[in-house]
Structure 1
Amino acid sequence: MKKPTAVICGASATGLGVGRDLGRQGIPVVFADFESFRPGFASRYASKQHKGIVADSEDELLDRLVVFAAQQEHKPVLFQTTDQMVLAVAEHRDRLEQHFRIADSTRPGIADVVTDKKRFYDLCCQYEVASPRTAFPKTADEALQLVEPFDFPVILKPIHGHLWRERLKGKKLLVAETIQEFHQIIDRFRADVHDLMIQEMIPGPEKNLWVGGLYLRQSDGEPGPVFVGRKLRQYPPGFGSASLADACWNETVRDLSVEFLRKIGYRGVCGTEFKFDERDQTYKMVEVNPRQTLWFALIGASNVPLNYYAYCDLAEQPLPALEEQRNGTKWLLFDKDLVSATKYFFTGKLGLISWLRSYKGIRVRAVWSWADLWPSFSIARTYLHRLRTRFSSSNK
């Protein structure tokens, strides 16, 4: 019997990791994105019968997804690897679930809540989950009042992060080291302060950032595969997405993740993040992602078949056996990690020997793979194109 196709919305490195995990199991994989140069489209695991789904707008992409699904013998399984597509699928779920198998987590009341940082913080308070101290100003004047009890430095985060990506030039947040810097940031975004949150900065190294990758079954909401690891470095340095991470089991992180997701009725793929606060020896929940995230390729490389398990559960096929997580496996996003490690090296926070040793145990990379080379060439071609474009613009 032919296996249902997996349609992966998002052909960046995150979607590529999902496609590789599923493609190795013989599952047909089709990528969908707004940009045709994304590395997933160049993968050997992308369907040879279908070149992929590319569109200029969200509405057009959804229309093309429906057209594609209607042509399939079996309902495809739909995965979303970006917040934009999670929210788009949730908004149009009634239409899409007629044609796709979609996780319960991608629905209004779940997807829109955990991607909204204020509503997510309210959930943490409701269920008494420890989280960083946070305030939500409505105006610039209120922001200056609310920040008074905080110790500096403080963090300012967009409540709806995916809407600020271009404005922050890829950064996830802003850091105000002093009250003067805080004033400058508030003045800069005065008209949009209502979409910013003030949050305490929990001290401690990046290895205190713990991440969980989970899948909760559609039938009963109970956990299937669960993975726990750590961020070792991030890009941008100190605050951002993982650039180097490892598999390191932590029962407390596992239990906190499962307990919270059960309470909110979550069923599907999820990524959690905690920061261990050395001041009071507690794990503070930082965020929940209702989808796969960039470092999820580490999960499969650590003997945890999360993406395949999710596919089988959604496709109503026999579930794969679960084995113990392999600790010590590392994942690397080389180009970003090189920037972060270089900064730490020149600021005296990372020695040369420690830098080199940090790469020991790497089994999987975000894009590079000897078994799937073309996505790396696609990334290189994209970088060259961007450099050419910038050079041409600067000479005009």
Structure 2
Amino acid sequence: MPSHPAVVLDLSANGVGIIHALARRGIEVYAFDTSGPYSKGKSRLASCAVCPSPLTQQKALLSFLKGVARKFEKKPVLYAGADDYVVFISTYREELSEYYLFLYPDHSMIVDLLDKKKTYDLAMKYCIPTAKTFFVENDDQLDEAISELEFPCILKPVYGHEFRKHINKKAIKIQDANQLREVFPLYSKYGELIIQELIPGDNQSFYKVATFFDDDMNLLALFTLQKNHQFPVEFGTGAHIVSKRIPELVELGVPLLKELKLKGVNMIEYKKDPRDGQYKLIEINPRFWLTHSLTGPSGVDFAYTYYLYLTGKNPAPQLEQIDGVQWIYLVRYFLTFLEKRRNDEMTWRDFLKGFKGKKVFALLALDDPMPFIRSTSSHLWNAWKRKRKE
């Protein structure tokens, strides 16, 4: 009898990590993303194709996914690697659940977690330390925020996944009040913004706690990690990560996620503030995160455990991890090194040291070379274009 296939929405490094975790266990994988950079360099470990946009073609995407599912004898397990797809699946969960297997928290919670204002409200409600934050809707509120701010500070979108469709930045560093007054109206036309204090500390101050709770809020998988490097250096995503159990973060994060009833796969990111030693909330993501492909080599395979649970295999909880395994997004690690080397923050010896010990690469794979080639060429091309503008 055929097993359940898997359908992955996302062909970035996040989605490719899911493909690799499942296909290498013999699971039939189908992967889709919108047309654009991911239409090139498709994974050879999955059947890949272009799909309608979850932002602008929701009804077409719904029809498309129904058509895909009808081809199989058993319901596919549905995975999402990006916020746009998570919101889409959650919005149409009733219809999609007739065709697919997936597990998400309540839709209202997903919407709240993607809204920086609502996430801040949750932090206040549960007394979670966070950066000092200002919500600005007019000039008077901007002046008030400036009077209380310490510079430099950061400007962030309330809805990051929508903002990055226009401006590909997680945050903008602001040096002084004059710059803030100048750029605030320029960026605000792309979406609502918040102003936040800049928590000091380098890339290694960032930590994540990830959980997988089942329908009854039983913990089936647990993982913690520490960043070593990110790209871009100041406000970026993982470039070099290490598996590391941080008991105090487990004590902070797991009860919170359980209290919020965040069933399915979720991740909290914290930054440790050197001024007071507190772990301060950065964000909560109700989905698979970029560096989840580190979990399998570290003994806690989130993607496969999710598959086993949803297909009725009753997987045993995976709550112990192997520490010291490194996850390397090679081209981003190299570009980060170049930037840090220019600032005398990293040497060639430091860079090469990052390859010692047990490691897993985000995309580099002999059995699936094209995603790595695609991503590397794209990153290097964009870096060259930026350098030319300088």
Shared fold by TM > 0.5? yes
Say if 2:209 and 2:224, in contact at 8 Å, map to a contact too. Answer: yes
Say if 1:11 and 1:32, in contact at 8 Å, map to a contact too. Answer: yes
Q: Secondary structure at the match of 1:309?
A: helix
Matching of residue 87 in structure 1 with residue 84 in structure 2: no
Structure 2: how far apart are the matches of 1:310 and 1:192?
35
Structure 2: how far apart are the matches of 1:166 and 1:104?
24
Q: Secondary structure at the match of 1:22?
A: helix
Structure 1: how far apart are the matches of 2:13 and 2:30?
15
Write the deviation string for residues 128-169 of structure 1: whole angstroms up to 9, x where unpaired.
Answer: 11111111111243122123212111111100001111332x
Q: How many angstroms does 1:361 deviate by?
A: 2.9
Structure 2: how far apart are the matches of 1:4 and 1:120?
35
Q: How many angstroms does 1:40 deviate by?
A: 9.4
Write the deviation string for residues 98-121 of structure 1: whole angstroms up to 9, x where unpaired.
Answer: 21112132x411211111111111
Write the deviation string for residues 29-70 of structure 1: whole angstroms up to 9, x where unpaired.
Answer: 1112112752797323214xxx44523553222211111112
Say if 2:223 and 2:319, in contact at 8 Å, map to a contact too. Answer: no
Q: Secondary structure at the match of 2:107?
A: coil
Structure 2: how far apart are the matches of 1:101 and 1:41?
28
Structure 2: how far apart are the matches of 1:233 and 1:133?
24
- Answer with 315-324 or 223-232: which moved more: 315-324
Counterpart of 1:269? 265
After TM superposition, the structure 1 = structure 2 runs for residues 1-396 of structure 1, keeping only pairs within 5 Å, are 1-35=1-35, 38=38, 42-47=42-47, 51-52=48-49, 54-55=51-52, 58-59=57-58, 60-105=60-105, 107-168=106-167, 170-189=168-187, 191=189, 195-218=192-215, 220-320=216-316, 322=318, 324-361=320-357, 363-379=359-375
Q: Secondary structure at the match of 1:189?
A: helix
Structure 2: how far apart are the matches of 1:123 and 1:108?
16
Q: How many angstroms does 1:345 deviate by?
A: 0.8
Write the deviation string for residues 233-266 of structure 1: whole angstroms up to 9, x where unpaired.
Answer: 1111121111111111101112222111111111
Counterpart of 2:388? none
Q: TM-score, normalised by structure 1?
A: 0.90
Q: Secondary structure at the match of 1:147?
A: helix
- One-letter amino acid of the counterpart of residue 211, structure 2: L
Say if 1:16 and 1:40, in contact at 8 Å, map to a contact too. Answer: no
Q: TM-score, normalised by structure 2?
A: 0.91
- One-letter amino acid of the counterpart of residue 78, structure 2: L
Say if 1:140 and 1:190, in contact at 8 Å, map to a contact too. Answer: no
Percent identity for Structure 1 against Structure 2: 27
Q: How many angstroms does 1:315 deviate by?
A: 1.8
Structure 2: how far apart are the matches of 1:324 and 1:40?
37
Counterpart of 1:393? none
Unaligned runs of 5+ in 2: 386-390
Q: Secondary structure at the match of 1:88?
A: helix
Structure 2: how far apart are the matches of 1:323 and 1:287?
22
Q: How many angstroms does 1:351 deviate by?
A: 2.6
Q: How many angstroms does 1:223 deviate by?
A: 1.6
340 and 362 in structure 1: CA distance in 2 versus 1, 3 angstrom threshold: farther
Q: How many angstroms does 1:175 deviate by?
A: 0.7
Counterpart of 1:394? none
Structure 2: how far apart are the matches of 1:253 and 1:385?
38
Structure 1: how far apart are the matches of 2:279 and 2:177?
27
Say if 2:231 and 2:332, in contact at 8 Å, map to a contact too. Answer: yes
Say if 2:39 and 2:49, in contact at 8 Å, map to a contact too. Answer: no
Write the deviation string for residues 364-387 of structure 1: whole angstroms up to 9, x where unpaired.
Answer: 112111232232244467679989
Structure 1: how far apart are the matches of 2:379 and 2:233?
21
Say if 1:31 and 1:41, in contact at 8 Å, map to a contact too. Answer: no
- One-letter amino acid of the counterpart of residue 332, structure 1: I
Q: Secondary structure at the match of 2:141?
A: helix
Say if 2:230 and 2:236, in contact at 8 Å, map to a contact too. Answer: yes
Structure 2: how far apart are the matches of 1:386 and 1:150?
34
Say if 1:133 and 1:199, in contact at 8 Å, map to a contact too. Answer: yes
CA RMSD of aligned residues (A): 2.5
